[in-house]
A and B are shown apart, each in its own frame.
Chain A
Amino acid sequence: MVATLDQVFRQEWGRVLATLIGFLGDFDLAEEAAQEAFAIAAERWPRDGVPRNPRAWLMTTARNQATDRIRRNRTLAAKFGLLVADDRAEVPMKTTTFPDERLELIFTCCHPALAVEAQVALTLRTLGGLTTDEIARAFLVPQRTMAQRLVRAKGKIKAARIPFRVPPAHLLRDRLDAVLAVVYLIFNEGYGGRDELAAEAIWLGRALAELLPDDPEVRGLLAMMLLHDSRRAARFSDGELVLLGDQDRSRWDTNQITDGRAELDRALALGGRGPYVLQAAIASLHAEVPCDWAQIAALYGELTRLTSSPVVELNRAIAVAETQGAEAGLRIVDGLGLDDFRYLHSTRAELLKRLGRTDEARDAYRRARQLTDDGAERRFLERRLTELAAAAGSG
């Protein structure tokens, strides 16, 4: 029973809230009403049984709560005069006639007039139903800071009148990129070890794919997240970071790989060749044995042309080193202006080590260690340095 309730809450929170915000035009009022409806459900359902249509029940209850609240509070009643006057609240809500307003909600939360941190927090709070405390913990900021961030964002949506809608066609591409970037950011934060955020991002990715089924980049992002996430269990061994080549493949989640590849195939069938589709294709090739490094290098080349990102070039260098040798990889690495980027130095170190240039490799590992604040990564680099010293001692 408890599991069922949790599942229903998890599935329905975003939709109920989105519908209420669309109807009331007020984030805070909608959130309070939704919380009350879920609290009433938690009390009544275990006693009376789960209603046949939980969503309809939740929406009707939440809307009644909002209406009561408006009636009780004269100031609010004045503000929402129209709402009370036309008595929309009296009309029973039929779920079948409701469009899925989560799409409007996610575009509102990810509006470019809000700071990126606020976009992330608001998306997790409203669509994911995470508590302020959970989001604060995941992003390692004080609870108070996160609460202020949310209050400020909701305040700006209201005061500056950020519209609750899917942007018109000429703005859609740019705005969708922002939405995808937020979901990706949440995923990356989760990939760094906070599992629940990775799961949240994949859930948001699935919801977006359901809402915008014909967009290849939406499918590409979902595919990429699934493929990366499939290797989660193998990325760490006894709390230590394990590189792709050394991972225990039996710990990869094959179902997730299959799901990810299916999404990638759909993206390609839709004609997708954007940055997320390319990254998903690369992640898919990484999961193959043996790995087609030449193909991966070519895809990174295509991605560099799209993004002009030196970080992408660094990845291409690794793939090139696998096919054309460490020397060729090193030439690319040494042409990149990424001196403060720790992975540049750890990559350089690996390539120098392969070329037998031990002293230079040691300096590069040390530079990478200097730039690393993550404990597991630091220990990984320490191990590499120890191995290097041992090899130098024996040789």
Chain B
Amino acid sequence: MKYVMLIFQGPALERQAALPEEEQKQVYADYQGINQTPGVTPGLPMGLAQNATTVRVEGGKTLTTDGPFVGMKEAVGGWFILEADDLDAAIEVAARVPAARYGGAVEIRPSEVYW
């Protein structure tokens, strides 16, 4: 079963930047550890939400707007794909993502085949 794991930074980036160097190193090590966890397909790190561009197509016309999709309450900071047996296994990996403990969150979505 594949899960799409969305990382919401929230205040985590700022809080992490204020950490002592040793703890910052731990944050990077934790992200690396998740990327190397069996079942994980790492995504690419995402830049800041303020540099995002949102594209929608309405009536055949492409609408391009500045910024993240407004439906999102918080900007997505990153993502990865996890192959896991069940939701509990996915929750355990999500809980290891540093953003989750520095005020951000991880959203788990089961992947779906629509076509």
Contacts and interface: CB of A to CB of B under 8 A. Distances in A.
Interface of A: 111, 113, 159-163, 167, 171
B19 to A, nearest CB: 27
A159 B108 CA distance: 12
A163 B88 contact: yes
Interface string B104-115: 000010101000
Nearest to A157: B87
SS of B interface (majority): mixed
Contacts, number: 22
Interface of B: 1, 85-88, 91, 108, 110, 112
B86 A161 contact: yes
Top 10 A-B residue pairs of the complex, sorted by shortest distance between their CB atoms: A163-B86, A161-B86, A160-B110, A162-B87, A160-B87, A159-B110, A161-B1, A163-B88, A161-B87, A113-B87
A171 B110 contact: no
Please indicate which of the listed interface residues A111, A113, A161, A163 has the most CB atoms of chain B within 10 Å of its own CB.
A161
B86 A162 contact: yes
Nearest to B109: A160
A275 to B, nearest CB: 25
5 contacts: A111-B87, A161-B1, A161-B110, A162-B86, A162-B87
A115 to B, nearest CB: 15
A167 B91 CA distance: 13
Nearest to A168: B88
Which of B85, B86, B87, B108 neighbours the largest number of chain A CB atoms within 10 Å of its CB? Answer: B87
A113 B87 CA distance: 9
Nearest to A164: B86
Contacts of B112: 159
Contacts of B88: 162-163, 167, 171
Q: Which of B1, B86, B112 has the most CB of A within 10 A?
A: B86
A122 to B, nearest CB: 15
A163 B108 CA distance: 15
A162 B84 CA distance: 12
Contacts of A171: 88
B85 to A, nearest CB: 8
Contacts of A163: 85-88
A119 to B, nearest CB: 14
A162 B110 CA distance: 11
Nearest to B88: A163
